[in-house]
Structure 1
Amino acid sequence: MLAPSSAGFRRLLPLLQPHRRTLLAGGLCMLVFVACWPLLAWLAGQLIPAIGAGNFGRVLRVIGLALSVFMLQKLAQFGQDTLLAGPALQVSQELRRRLFARLQRLDFAALEKLSAGDLTYRLTEDADRVGEVIYKTIQDTTPSALQLVVVFGYMVWLDWKLSLGTLLLAPLVAVLVSLFGARVMGAAERSQKQVSELASLLAEAIGGLPLVRAFAAEPWLQQRFETEIDLHRRARYRTQRLLALQYPVVGFLEAAGILAVLLMGAARIQSGDLTGQGFSSYVAALLMLIDPISHLTTNFNEFQQGQASLRRLRQIEQEAVEP
């Protein structure tokens, strides 16, 4: 997610360096959180056959172990989320501080090109979105990616041939997410531009209301405002329509993949290459992949929108300053 881009997300990494200790503590909690997933999948493989056999004592022991692992995992998740929130908010604050300091030194010719409403939106909404992307990348995207790697590694250990068949679907999902993400970023840029223009119009209108009334220009101002909010609605609708299309397509592919794995698993059990207990653990691990895939898809879309916001903030840095 922090690949090189014109927005320059990698240039924000030095802002995280003062928080190395906090990030390290959060990272340790993250590792504990991720390590619990294959253990839970293994316990599921022990539990399902015990339920089928009616072995109440074994079911009780496995459930007790599973609850203990869940408790440990949730404590680690709490530590991860709370420890990693601080650095992300600090980066957003530092970014605002630097941009505001530069804003005060901008050349007057550059200031004339930027309206007050536009600058206000960039230093509030755009900066907030960038901070949210940084937080989601550290707190959600990274553990989701690690969960995918660890759980899929466990699936390979259980049955590499079945895992190879599962892996064939991954490139198709990745390509679709990438294509949708690129279109979402373009739509988000247009939407943010419309919000910025709307904020600029509101700032000018509120400040100039006495003059508008003096010249009886209320109908003209109302018409201009209605045009801006209609353009904003259209831009937002295009973004939401893309997101609405993406989730059913990716969800259908996930469902088709799970059904295909069940079919292949039945064939592997019939041939004697996989036990019922092993397949129970495999299916549990497979279901554990759905949530991180969904999170990565959502976060990628938010990352694309964050790129658009960061690009708008970087434009302030590119303006000329007074000597």
Structure 2
Amino acid sequence: MAVEEINKQGGINGTKIEFIAEDNGGDAKLAVTGVSKLLEVNNADIILSSFTHITSAIKGLVAEKGKVMIYAATVRDIAQSNDLFFRDYYDAEDNGAATARLVAKNGYKNVAFLSEKSPQCAEFEKGFEAETKGAVLMTTKELYSAEATDVRVNLTKIKGAKSEAIVVCGWRHEHLIMKEMKELGMIGTQTFHWVAPFLPVANTDDMKKLFEENKAISTWYGVAEENNTAEQKEFIEKYQKAFGMKPTGEAVYAYDDIYILANAIKACDKAGKAKDSQCIAQELGKTNYDGVGGKVSFNDRLSNREITAIQVVDGVWRNIMQ
């Protein structure tokens, strides 16, 4: 959608953007094959990627060709490894800190921590603890495997600790966690989540009822279902008209990223360097863009995205930061 809009406005100083997509199906091997084609056959100037395992698999190929890459993943190290790599996504550590502020704002002094075992959740916990500086006591911590299909044992231990609230880092298991909390009579102990409705299975009407019953609060990115800005409402309407569905946070960030890239390339084109990766990277580093997903800038090639918070009110996730 962004490419079409920019091209209708004359493209990049008269040259239209060509957007080529290769579907990797979430498979790292297919991603390597797809990126090889983009680089060798299509001669792509810039690579867009998402997910840590996909981006990690292709980063070497992109680096060999000296191309700029913008990727969407929670980890920082890929961007930190190469001056031409930029990350635009929500940050695990920043979300942990934001969650800590939400917990403190709601007056809790001690919490239980329920988390899957993953590098992302470790960073989330790190951010949470750094922000609280000991002001919020973590009374108990329960970790479970990312492949877990039942967390009742973990929840039962948390129930026994009688914490005031529960902090959850379990985006893969939100649907499981809330249902089992209901079964164990734990609804009523308020929960604080990281991107709770990330997966469709956690964003059904039944799940929203559980989240609302428990007054759950989640950090979020992109747009909420309600209480968005005027610009976000306009984007949502355009997106639904074009694709017949509501936009995800990824759609919002991708839309902004194309405009950010276009601005960087336009600046380089004026100096006759439209295909110069070093010039594009330098211009990206100067980014100060007010997009659909909020203000965007980069610090050491990591985007500084505004973190919002959402809560289910009357059956819909509302932005409670507006």
- The TM tier, using the shorter chain, reads under 0.3
Higher strand share: 2
Q: Larger radius of gyration, structure 1 or 2?
A: 1
In the superposition, the TM-score normalised over structure 1's length comes to 0.26
In the superposition, the TM-score normalised over structure 2's length comes to 0.26
